[in-house]
Structure 1
Amino acid sequence: MAKLTDMEELASTIIDKNVQSYMREALTCYMTGAYRATIVLSYIALFDDIIAKLDVLAKVNRKARRIYDEVSKKRADQEVFESDLINQLSSNNLMSSLDTTFLDILRKLRNKAAHPSGHQPSAEEARFIYYESISRFLSKEILSTTQLADEILVSTGDKNLFPSTDISIIAKVVKKELESIHHETYSYLVNKLLDKVISSDDAVSKNASFFLTGMTFNSDNEESIGAIRKYLIENKSQDDKFYFMIIRTITSNPKVLDGVDDITFQRLRVIIEERISNVESTLGHSRFSHPVSMFSSMFGVTEDSLIKRYFTDELNHLFKRFLYSSYLINNLGKSELAKENYINTLYSKAGSSDFDTANYFARNCYDIADDLDVILTEKDSFVLVLHVIKAADWGAFGSKDMRKAKFGSMPKIRDKARSYDSSNTAGAMKLYTELFGSDTEFNNDMNAYIR
């Protein structure tokens, strides 16, 4: 009975609903002991399905079109076509040798079963035909697991494959191209695309890179993400020719990092550190190849515990180099770890004893004041103001100007600091003492610059 249950479940995996109905009838025959009928019905369903899938493949493949036209003519003329079809599929690499061998076995068994040859089909024969027909063919979306992928690979030489560099458009193009691709093809396709990423042909290299990025963008398809994780993130993380591609892919979908082993993470640290150090100053921070964009994508998707474990140093380096990035600040709210580390870096810059560092903050804080207002609490704002006062005490002229102007360059942050002092004076005094070592000047500074 368990065998019958398995066969019923297998029938539900058939793609074509009409063929599924046909094979359920074949199953009924099997259950009643009509094994000859099971084989014949499976044979008819299988070859009908192959021809239907060949018709789909013929729309993009000239070899498939020629075979389909020839077979269709023989069929219409009621000529025997199955043996010729098997040979044509095999010789044109549209079907594996194992699959064509099975088809030939099925053809011979069907011929024995359909004619009064004295052969009595057994339950084992019928079950074998039923299982193999569905698992090898009827449950597959396409005829060949690589043919359509090869068509995609050829198209990477087309200059207009991607009509836009907008990632949403790229993802739509990729989705359309992958519509008829079976998930078993992803490994083959990804490996071939990676070979093209390092092509000397700029158009091919660009299109291959775009295609890989588009395969992951906003995707929950674990088959495609898993293939890129294995063959790019894990297998290429030691190859500097793919560093740029790895950064782009992580930015596109940080889920490619899920389940990655420790050695790969250590290699990724090298890649990310190199990119943070050497990224061009003119590159927009929202571009997929920019480390700011990469980390911004990771926030809220990659667990904070993982970022802390593997990328703390790189994250802090990112903050030091791109502290005044609005794009970065606007993405900090997705990660408590990132926001906390960023704010601590902000304090160190605002209150630095190095005049150049403190003055640089004073010159640039106006540009990001509104962005900072979104992530800073009243307490955070108060502490930031204290650090500026500290730098002013050390003599940084930019900090002294900010203090003298009562922080008019960042009025919302000043108002938050003022509110914190007003509502929690004891807490404000404690924070002041921790930073200055004494509360002697607390009221004087508050009255002069904040209240």
Structure 2
Amino acid sequence: MASPLADLDELVLKCRDEKSKQYIREAVSCYKAGAFRSAIVSTWIAVTFDIIDKIRELALSGDKEAENQLEIFEKARRQNDITSALKFEREILGIAKDKLELISHIECLDLERLKEDRDRCAHPSMTSEGEIFNPPAELARVHIRNTVEYLLQYPPAQGKHALDKLLAEVDSEYFPITPEQAQIALRQSPIFKPRDSLVRNFIIVLLKKLLNDVTEQKKAYRYKSALKATETMHKQIYNDTLGKKLSDLLKALVLEDENLPKIAEIIRYLPDFWIYTDDNVRHKIETYVENLPSEHIKLLEVFLDFKYLQEQAKKRLNQIDTKEELEKIEYQLGIHPLIADRSIDLYLLSDSYGQA
């Protein structure tokens, strides 16, 4: 049976930054040697180095808040201002949580506990007189794990900044329109090694844009390729997100009858959407297809090719009794066999050569 405990050496390999990795490796060595106080101190040093390096990376990418924080840190370092440097260290987790969105509220609480334990380990003033703080092995281990799992394994952009960056990339005219090429592009973005929340939010925003905002075909293809690439990279999160969110988005969409033609586009972009849809939404879509208005008849081929709506589409096709209405249907790759059969039926039923 596999151990539920995380392997510490594997945690070291997850670290993204080399300096942080060195300190975590040192913390693991101290832990294995039984020097648990030293392990906790090294773990906190890894946290501070990692956040400062992430601030540098974000500043280089143009993040104004990161530029401000970097200037504060560099000024204290240049002037050898110990008071300002200590103040920056005290506030560094708050900066990471509130101003840079590198960690969540819960993660910040756990890392604050690490800082408190580091103070107990390193500062005699933080313990009772005559007592030595002896942290148990379990405490040192959980701090090492939390540090890597919450912070050290991730690239700097993970909050709203990361989401904005991803959407700007997909909105670019030069973003690929094929899933394979989109996957290559996204491997250089924050979505490559993200928190689950970033993947979920990215998927939800792309879905909303596809369902509600996109009218330009090329832009729709970019969103579709980004979605399919994200599905390939993060299959489980993608399935969970569609299962929880897609039906609600579709419910809001089909509430207004004028939005129902968008279902054809959804079939083109998200052919597996049906399995995530509630029964009441399915029923409305089925009724719409079975009674497809003449002004929407051009969409009929899309529904004929969609197995979940094929029966309703066939019924609507068999209601067509004029060549003029049949000719309104748009074809993707030549005339559909069922439409060809209906065309022959109309020809055979015609009363005269002119009508045929």
Flag whether TM exceeds 0.5 (same fold): yes
Per-residue CA deviation, residues 330-382 of structure 1 (Å, 9 max, x unaligned), is: 8xxxxxxxxxxx545533431x3xxxx21xxxxxxxxxxxxxxxxxxxxxxxx
Rounded to whole Å, the distance in 2 between the matches of 1:249 and 1:227 is 19
Contact 2:267 2:302 in 1 (8 A): no
Rounded to whole Å, the distance in 1 between the matches of 2:270 and 2:148 is 34
Contact 1:40 1:110 in 2 (8 A): yes
| Map of 2:268 onto structure 1 | 251
State which of 147, 160, 165 in structure 1 corresponds to 2:161. 147
Give identity over the alignment, percent.
18
* SS, match of residue 312 in structure 1: helix
Rounded to whole Å, the distance in 2 between the matches of 1:175 and 1:266 is 39
Residues 115 and 323 (structure 1), Cα distance of their counterparts in 2 relative to 1, 3 Å cut: same
Instruction: Name the amino acid aligned to 1:105.
Output: R
Coordinate RMSD, CA, aligned: 4.7
| Map of 2:150 onto structure 1 | 136
Contact 1:237 1:267 in 2 (8 A): no
2:199 maps to 1:186: yes
Per-residue CA deviation, residues 250-287 of structure 1 (Å, 9 max, x unaligned), is: 31242444555555543443565577754385xxxxxx
Residues 85 and 149 (structure 1), Cα distance of their counterparts in 2 relative to 1, 3 Å cut: same
2:354 maps to 1:347: no
Instruction: Name the amino acid aligned to 1:125.
Output: L
Per-residue CA deviation, residues 142-166 of structure 1 (Å, 9 max, x unaligned), is: 454333224566x59xxx9443799
Alignment of 1:255-266 (within 5 A): 255-258=272-275, 260=277, 262-266=279-283
Contact 1:57 1:64 in 2 (8 A): yes
Deviation of residue 39 (structure 1)? 1.0
Alignment of 1:330-369 (within 5 A): 343=337, 346-350=340-344, 352=345, 357-358=346-347
After TM superposition, the score normalised by the length of structure 1 is 0.56
Rounded to whole Å, the distance in 2 between the matches of 1:18 and 1:275 is 63
Residues 65 and 13 (structure 1), Cα distance of their counterparts in 2 relative to 1, 3 Å cut: same
Contact 1:237 1:268 in 2 (8 A): no
* SS, match of residue 286 in structure 2: helix
| Map of 1:406 onto structure 2 | none
Rounded to whole Å, the distance in 2 between the matches of 1:140 and 1:235 is 31
Rounded to whole Å, the distance in 2 between the matches of 1:244 and 1:74 is 61
State which of 394, 397, 422 in structure 1 corresponds to 2:353. 397
Deviation of residue 129 (structure 1)? 0.6
Deviation of residue 185 (structure 1)? 1.5
| Map of 1:96 onto structure 2 | 104
| Map of 1:109 onto structure 2 | 117
Aligned residues: 326
Contact 1:26 1:38 in 2 (8 A): yes
State which of 122, 125, 128 in structure 1 corresponds to 2:136. 122
Instruction: Name the amino acid aligned to 1:254.
Output: P
Contact 1:225 1:256 in 2 (8 A): no
| Map of 1:38 onto structure 2 | 39
Q: Which moved more, 1:97-106 or 1:127-136?
A: 97-106
State which of 208, 226, 241 in structure 2 corresponds to 1:215. 226
Instruction: Name the amino acid aligned to 1:35.
Output: F
Instruction: Name the amino acid aligned to 1:137.
Output: L
Higher relative contact order (CA closer than 8 Å, sequence separation 6+): 2
Deviation of residue 23 (structure 1)? 2.7
The answer for unaligned runs of 5 or more in structure 1 is: 282-289, 299-306, 331-341, 359-390, 401-451
Contact 2:15 2:148 in 1 (8 A): yes
| Map of 1:269 onto structure 2 | 286
Instruction: Name the amino acid aligned to 1:103.
Output: L
Rounded to whole Å, the distance in 2 between the matches of 1:92 and 1:317 is 56
| Map of 1:163 onto structure 2 | 173
